[in-house]
Amino acid sequence: MNKSGVVYWRELKRQKHLCIVTSLQFLLTTLLLVWRMEDFTTFTYFLYIPFLFSVVTQNDIYFYDLTTSIETLLATPLDAAQILKEKGLFIVIKSVILGVAMFPVYLIILYVNGYKPNILIWNEALLLLLCFLLQYSLSLLVGTVTWLYGKKSRLGIIIGQGLLLNGLTAISSWDIKGSGTVMVISIVAAYGVSRVLIKRLRTENMIMRCL
């Protein structure tokens, strides 16, 4: 198994024990779609729902799984930066898979209420790709801040995530050029800050926070 595969395998093993949590996510997302059905189009669905799943997964992996991360650091030649990158990619992949899995539910809700789904246009698809890159950059930033500052960073992260989710609803109503510009700036800023903070990470300090 290659280096990246170790991180993915450990995360997949954890997911087997999160069936109840995942089922609860699906239920709450379904209720959200029913409640705010008129606010969703195909574009805003894939803009918002996978992002929502990524926020939940970030908190699960980084807030409650530091021990597994320490084990990966000690058991493999991967450094903290590499592990954070692989975890960030895993979060994006999982959130997209969950979003796609929920999409038939959204279509059923539309059908029951007499609506037809919208078709994505090419510039909306490009904006979604930027959104997935933003998810990755933010996952990297959340992981770095959590590993560096521990539990005292949680409140600030949760508040920031809430503001971002609200911001996505505003971005979806902007023109494509404006939305894309904001996302590109956010991606560069989040990734840049992450790269600076990662240099300050020390495995010894992370182990001490687990004790």
Mean pLDDT by 10 residues, the chain (211 residues): 61 68 83 85 89 87 69 66 86 92 91 83 88 93 86 85 82 76 92 90 66 52
H-only helix segments in the chain:
3-15, 19-35, 42-63, 66-75, 80-112, 122-149, 154-171, 176-198, 203-210
Q: Which residues contact 123 (CB under 8 A, 6 or more apart)?
A: 176
* First-to-last C-alpha distance (Å) of the chain: 30
162 CB burial (10 A radius; 0-12, 13-18, 19+): exposed
Asked if 62 contacts 142 with a C-beta cutoff of 8 angstroms, the reply is: yes
pTM for the whole thing?
A: 0.84
Per-residue confidence (pLDDT) for residue 108, from 0 to 100: 92
What span, in angstroms and rounded, lies between the C-alpha atoms of 60 and 124? Answer: 29
In whole angstroms, give the CA distance from residue 90 to residue 10: 11
In the chain, where are the structural domains located? Answer: 3-210
Side-chain half-sphere exposure of 4, counting CA atoms within 13 A: 5
Please report the pLDDT score of residue 65 as a whole number: 63
